[in-house]
Amino acid sequence: MTDKILVVDDDADILNFVCEILELEGYQTDRAANGAEALQLYKKDFHKIIVTDANMPQMNGEELVKSVMATGHPTEVIVMSGYADMDMAISFIRLGVVAFLPKPFDPEELINTIKKINDKFRLIEEARKKQLDSIEYERLTITATMAAGLAHEINNPLSFISGDLQLLQADFEKTLNNITCDMPFDVAKMKDKVKNRFERCRKGYQRIASIINTLRTFSGVDQEDEYAECDINKSIEDALVLLSDKQKENTVIVKNFQPNLAKVYCYSKQLNHCFFHILLNAMQAVDKDPQITIATGTIDDANIFVRILDNGSGMPTEQIRYIYNPFYTTKNVGEGTGLGMTFTRNIIEKHHGRISIRSSPNVFTEVIIRLPIKHEKKA
């Protein structure tokens, strides 16, 4: 989400006037001449604050507000109108608009409303961080500690199960191959049965091993990682190589990488895991005409972005907030452990970055990551 304010009015003079007031106060603005144009800009950047006229051609204020609210993003809308009456004001407030300003309005009133909104956003963010720092952080730490212990305990017996399984299968096959005398059962059939059963055991073993692997990664036990400069484009390329066998046939990967992207100071192994998980989700989600678009670029002197867009199954807006919960998965048993995004958000936040997701069922999912080029290392 951008901190720019989106200003919408079909009257060019008012549009300029409002933008100038805001810019004088130090805000950056995006301008649109009607609701349709505004919605296009909004869907690109998801502005936190929109100041819009009510009556406009193509798409009026009411339709714009409804479309913005439907995205589920935390955006506050201020409506201005020259034809203001109480009924109109009430209907806008019912739609969730934060303030209704009859034109002509006092610029100070607009500025004060925006300040209040920003204060509210700040308080929500602080509360969210605090909550994350206390309850969620504690929960994640406990989960991570348990996961690390569990992974360690299970890993050793798992290795000898795997080794013995192989030897046992070889012994069985050798014994069956050496049977020469008549047996009270069909030896060929028995061979097949034994083979299938061993195959099932091996699949079960591989599944447990992969869960253990995810838990180890999630808990960070294996991550002796160096804090150093990292080429994010290369990080993504590496994740793609690792995932080459997970890619569905015909998947088109479009790479819009910014050349010479500023290097990011980070724990590179951990960030690699984030790209791995997001790309894996995208690869699992795509189905018909599968396409995944990956873009990297510069936001400003201090931040870069990574966007990963897929045209797969998507998800309803209400589901997005759950996907960071540990063990939340909609995948079939055996396909997902529900830790990928939990782990990813943890790492991004540890790097003082931000992750946001927008999606539409059966249309697309876009994961947007903002990363500071340099940040203070967490102790």
Ligand X SMILES: Nc1ncnc2c1ncn2[C@@H]1O[C@H](COP(=O)(O)OP(=O)(O)OP(=O)(O)O)[C@@H](O)[C@H]1O
**Which chain residues interact with Mg ion by CB under 5 A?**
281, 340
- Rounded to the nearest whole angstrom, what is the least distance from the CB of residue 254 to ligand X in the complex? 15
Of the two residues 95 and 320, which places its CB atom closer to ligand X in the complex? 320
Of the two residues 130 and 331, which places its CB atom closer to Mg ion in the complex? 331
- Rounded to the nearest whole angstrom, what is the least distance from the CB of residue 245 to Mg ion in the complex? 16
Distinct helix (H) and strand (E) counts, the chain: 11, 12
Binding site for ligand X (CB under 6 A): 214, 277, 281-282, 285, 310, 312-315, 323, 328-331, 336-342, 365
State which amino acid sits at residue 377.
Answer: K
Q: For residue 329, which phi and psi values (nearest 5 degrees)?
A: -145, 145
Of the two residues 60 and 317, which places its CB atom closer to ligand X in the complex? 317
| Backbone CA torsion sign across 149, 153, 158, 160 | positive
Q: Which of 158, 169, 164, 247 is nearest to 210 (CA)?
A: 158
- Rounded to the nearest whole angstrom, what is the least distance from the CB of residue 147 to ligand X in the complex? 12
- Rounded to the nearest whole angstrom, what is the least distance from the CB of residue 367 to ligand X in the complex? 7
Determine the Cα–Cα distance for residues 338 and 284; give it in Å rounded to an integer.
13
Of the two residues 6 and 286, which places its CB atom closer to ligand X in the complex? 286
Determine the Cα–Cα distance for residues 267 and 269; give it in Å rounded to an integer.
6
Residues in the chain: 379
| Coarse DSSP helix, strand, coil percentages of the chain, rounded to the nearest 5 percent | 50, 20, 30
Residue 312's binding partner, choosing from Mg ion, ligand X, none, with beta-carbon cut-off 5 to 8 A by kind? ligand X
Of the two residues 92 and 276, which places its CB atom closer to ligand X in the complex? 276
Specify whether the backbone of 220 is left (phi greater than 0), alpha (psi in -120 to 50) or beta.
left
Residue 147's binding partner, choosing from Mg ion, ligand X, none, with beta-carbon cut-off 5 to 8 A by kind? none
- Rounded to the nearest whole angstrom, what is the least distance from the CB of residue 98 to ligand X in the complex? 31
Of the two residues 65 and 285, which places its CB atom closer to ligand X in the complex? 285
Q: Which helix (H) or strand (E) holds 368?
A: strand 364-372
Residue 72's binding partner, choosing from ligand X, Mg ion, none, with beta-carbon cut-off 5 to 8 A by kind? none
- Rounded to the nearest whole angstrom, what is the least distance from the CB of residue 288 to Mg ion in the complex? 20
3-state secondary structure of 264: strand
